[in-house]
A and B are shown apart, each in its own frame.
Chain A
Amino acid sequence: MTFAAIASKVRKGALLSHADGLALYQHPNLLEVGALANEVRERLHGDRTYFNRNLHINPTNVCVASCKLCSFSRRRADAEGAFVLGVDEVVDKLRARLAAGDRVTEVHVVGGLHDGLPFDYFTSLLVALKAAAPGIRLKAFSAVEIFFFHHLYGMSVEDVLRRLQAAGLDSLPGGGAEVFSSRVRKAICPNKCGAEEWLEVHSIAHRLGLKSNCTMLFGTVESLAERVDHLLLLRAQQDESGGFLAFIPLPFHPENNALGDRPAPTAAESLRTIAVARLLLHNVPHIKAYWVSLGLATAQTALWFGADDFDGTVSEEKIYHQAGSLSPQALASGEIARLVRAAGRVPVERDTLYGHVPTAEGEAV
């Protein structure tokens, strides 16, 4: 399939195939692929670029999974650097942001797979966060964590989700998908749930009315074909359950982990992956340029390669920074708006579900 033929399919709204995805990855000119993805981005969102005010909280880094790609986790609770935050400590982090006048609209909670915590710890966390800020949206626990809870506490995935939902869970983050290929998962994260389980958790969440995000951690040991397989599995899941709000491509960071002898994906590779994702995932409304993992300049540029969301103010990001990310730990909302405007786009502040939040920094939709 030639690039012109693929472009023609994109303009007619036809579905791209696996071969098309691979051809986009292998096309010699990044700018051609980017320009095509930008057409789709502008058709869907014009110049609008979304961001939110969020707070990242990692309640624990103790994790039984021992993934080779991870720089964040500690295998044992008594290992140096291991931590478990008390519920009050977690809530204090939110209260501190609110007391500083920051109108946070979302708390993003992900952590390690700690086998020594009771399920009540997690429900109490959600209840306490909601009590501290009743209007806030709680986007918490990746599918990997949900599946781990199902195993550890002997509840069905649906029961886990229902109980967390009753405690205040509003949506799921997209982490833990890595690359769905079983070959890749065996090599980099053999103790995490598999692709089927990851997709099943999101499917059940969508059925329960919970929206979620989806991700792909690229640049470890996967082939380009395996990346395309991953994107097409997400597309098929979205056709079936329809609850994915955004796709977030995550370039692998090699510092401080067992895969550290591999080079990180280059910026050109990150932009290409964003562009290919925009073109393959016609049914996922948003593509996120997660500035924490991409870096600010690449994230700005990504807004012309298919991405329409800059993520949020974040604050306290630990997972990527322990893997060597050099981006700031947090950005003020005004700074995000400035970076978006400097990239020639229009910043729009959103809530978790992409509802417009009218603010001074963001502009009217």
Chain B
Amino acid sequence: MKLEPNEPKLDLFDVGRDALAAARAAFDGNAFFVSARRLQPNGAWLGPLEAPLAMVDEDALADLGGLSGARKLGANALLCNLASALARDAVGLGLRCLVRTSFASGESSHVRRARLDQLGELVRGVPGIDGVVPVPVGEAQGLDTLEFFAACRMTCQLLSPALHLLVDLELYGHKLGQLCLSFGADEILGSITAQRTLRLGANASSNALTRDEAALLLRASGFTPCERLSEGKVLVL
């Protein structure tokens, strides 16, 4: 992130400490993992078939016949944009509504604050939004990503401490994804399966995890791991 002239440099550890403390306080030291599948614009699903989080991106809805079309195909969560016109409908229909908040390495702090302000407007305007999903534009840098997660957590704390801050492991991988848990994130989502994926050939860079591996990432970050199951149930591990 590019700071404005005369803007003080962020102290990584200060922002991390505050964000981590806020996340721990918000969920009593619990953190969550959820296996996710993603509905593609052509109607196909990507990810484990049994995944409890069946997510559709707002940008894909035009090809799927809108929210109702996506629901017919099994979607139970909407990943919506900051300027979403559908977030309220999704909440009303009982879908888990998550807000995508993008960020780019090298963008100014001013741009970033404006985006978080926009997030605030949406969350205040649509009660029932359940979480925020930071999404990097281009390559996710280590420090920059952690700082943005911390900023998101502090924004969530002001808006509603019950808002989840999710790390999509498909975007960050296990390593950076886990570090986000020390900077305000409280939930990881990804392809989480019962058995270990064979990481060979075209699958060599798979980010799939087993349930045990997912729980380890949370536990090693100092949280009590909780698995999200279907129908809103949560299993404390």
Which A residues have a C-beta under 8 Å from some C-beta of B?
A: 28-32, 34-35, 38, 255, 263, 266-271, 294-301, 304, 324, 326, 339, 342-344
Residues of B within 8 A of A297 (CB): 140-142, 145, 172-173, 175-176, 179
Knowing A266-B217, A295-B173 touch, does A301 contact B142 (C-beta < 8 A)? yes
Asked if B220 contacts A298 (CB within 8 A), the reply is no
* Smallest beta-carbon distance A28→chain B, Å: 5
Asked if B178 contacts A266 (CB within 8 A), the reply is yes
For B, the interface residue count at a CB cutoff of 8 angstroms equals: 34
Knowing A266-B216, A271-B179, A342-B141 touch, does A304 contact B222 (C-beta < 8 A)? no
Most buried by B among A324, A326, A339, A343: A326
Q: Is B182 an interface residue (CB 8 A)?
A: yes
Residue ID in chain B nearest A35 by CB atoms:
B13
Asked if B143 contacts A30 (CB within 8 A), the reply is no
Residues of A within 8 A of B142 (CB): 296-301, 342-343
Asked if A267 contacts B140 (CB within 8 A), the reply is no
Residues of B within 8 A of A344 (CB): 9, 12, 143
CA distance A263 to B216 in the complex (A): 9
CA distance A342 to B136 in the complex (A): 15
Asked if B141 contacts A31 (CB within 8 A), the reply is no
Residues of A within 8 A of B172 (CB): 297
CA distance A270 to B179 in the complex (A): 11
Q: Is B205 an interface residue (CB 8 A)?
A: yes
Most buried by A among B105, B181, B217, B220: B220
Asked if B20 contacts A267 (CB within 8 A), the reply is no
Residues of B within 8 A of A29 (CB): 17, 20, 222
Residue ID in chain B nearest A31 by CB atoms:
B16
Q: Is B221 an interface residue (CB 8 A)?
A: yes
Q: Is B117 an interface residue (CB 8 A)?
A: no
Most buried by B among A296, A300, A301, A326: A301
Which B residues have a C-beta under 8 Å from some C-beta of A?
A: 9, 12-13, 16-17, 20, 105-106, 140-146, 172-176, 178-179, 181-182, 199, 204-205, 212-213, 216-217, 220-222
Residues of A within 8 A of B205 (CB): 326
* Smallest beta-carbon distance A99→chain B, Å: 30
Chain A binding surface, main DSSP class: helix
Residues of B within 8 A of A30 (CB): 182, 221-222
Q: Which of A268, A295, A304 contacts B143 (CB 8 A)?
A: A304
Asked if B179 contacts A304 (CB within 8 A), the reply is no
Asked if A268 contacts B105 (CB within 8 A), the reply is no
Asked if B145 contacts A34 (CB within 8 A), the reply is no
11 A-B contacts (beta carbon < 8 Å): A263-B212, A266-B175, A266-B178, A267-B176, A271-B179, A298-B176, A299-B142, A300-B141, A326-B204, A326-B205, A342-B105
Q: Which of B9, B13, B141, B178 contacts A267 (CB 8 A)?
A: B178
Residues of B within 8 A of A267 (CB): 174-176, 178-179
Residues of B within 8 A of A266 (CB): 174-175, 178, 216-217, 220-221
Residue ID in chain B nearest A251 by CB atoms:
B175
Asked if A268 contacts B141 (CB within 8 A), the reply is no
CA distance A32 to B9 in the complex (A): 19
Asked if B143 contacts A343 (CB within 8 A), the reply is yes
Asked if A342 contacts B143 (CB within 8 A), the reply is yes
Knowing A300-B143, A301-B142, A343-B141 touch, does A34 contact B204 (C-beta < 8 A)? no
Asked if B217 contacts A28 (CB within 8 A), the reply is no
Query: Which 5 residue pairs are nearest across A and B when measured between Cβ atoms?
Result: A300-B142, A267-B175, A297-B142, A297-B176, A35-B13
Residues of A within 8 A of B220 (CB): 266, 268-269
CA distance A295 to B205 in the complex (A): 12
CA distance A271 to B17 in the complex (A): 16
Knowing A297-B173, A342-B105, A343-B142 touch, does A268 contact B16 (C-beta < 8 A)? no
CA distance A235 to B143 in the complex (A): 30
Q: Can you name 11 extra interface pairs (CB under 8 A) apart from A255-B199, A304-B12?
A: A30-B222, A31-B16, A31-B182, A295-B175, A295-B176, A297-B140, A297-B175, A298-B175, A298-B176, A300-B142, A301-B146
